Amino acid sequence: MVTMAEGGIDLFLPKSYDIFWSAVILIVVAIFFYKFFLPKFQSIFDERTAKIEGGMAKAEKAQAEADAAKKKYEDQLNNARIDAAKIRDDARSEATHIIADARTKAEADAAQITATAQKSLESQQQQALVSLKGEVGALATALAGKILGNKLSDADVQSTMIDSMLDELDKQGAGKAAK
């Protein structure tokens, strides 16, 4: 065992094998860190940064696309609304038109029907008048003949005569109605 005095100084005097192994180890670890460990992690860091930046750019692009699509759909929707309003207006005006036409036609038809009815009534009235005139004449003639034929002796005869004339009238009226 060396004395402690020598040992104390020896601590600071490098042994040749200590130099050798320290140098070997330094070179090994330095090569490891320089050539493998740090480049590897640096590439991972770079790749990660690129990926994050790429992801952000992609998200921005997607956002822009979504905005554009939204705008497109909104435009389309607006156009559709305008079209619908236009179609509705057209339909409404057309309907008004149709109703107006129909009304005009109906009024015309009504007027025509009224006119026809009037005409028919007038002609029937005329006919009735003509026929009445003729029958009244015949009746008057017949009545006068009967009055003259039955001598008009008493009140009974008169009454009978009037009754029979009225029956005649009724008969004739009924026959006319049936005709």
Partner 1 sequence: MAGVAELMGAAGMTLAAAEGPEIPQIDEFLPPEILFAGTPFAMNRIILVRVIMTVVMLLILGISASRAKLIPGRWQGFVEWGIEYVRDKIVYEVMGELRGKRYVPMICTIFFTIFFFNLCGIIPGMNIAATATIMMPLIFAAWTFVQYWIAACREQGLISYLKQECTPPGVPFPVLILLVPMQLIDILIIRPASLTLRLLANMIAGHLIVALCFSATQFFLILTENKLMMGAGVVTFAFGFIMTLFEAFVAYLQAFIFATLSTVYINMSYPEED
Interface mask toward partner 1 for 24-53; x: CB under 8 A: -xx-xxx-xxx-xxx-xx--xx-xx--x--
**Closest approach of partner 1 to the CB of residue 53, in Å:** 13
Q: Residue 85: exposed, middle, or buried by beta-carbon count in 10 A (0-12, 13-18, 19+)? A: exposed
**Closest approach of partner 1 to the CB of residue 60, in Å:** 21
**Closest approach of partner 1 to the CB of residue 13, in Å:** 7
HEC assignment per residue over 46-88: HHHHHHHHHHHHHHHHHHHHHHHHHHHHHHHHHHHHHHHHHHH
Rounded Cα–Cα distance for residues 109 and 111 (Å): 5
**Closest approach of partner 1 to the CB of residue 16, in Å:** 5
Which amino acid, one-letter code, is at 43? S
Taking CB under 8 A as the rule, does residue 55 contact partner 1?
A: no
Binding residues vs partner 1 (CB under 8 A): 1-5, 7-23, 25-26, 28-30, 32-34, 36-38, 40-41, 44-45, 47-48, 51
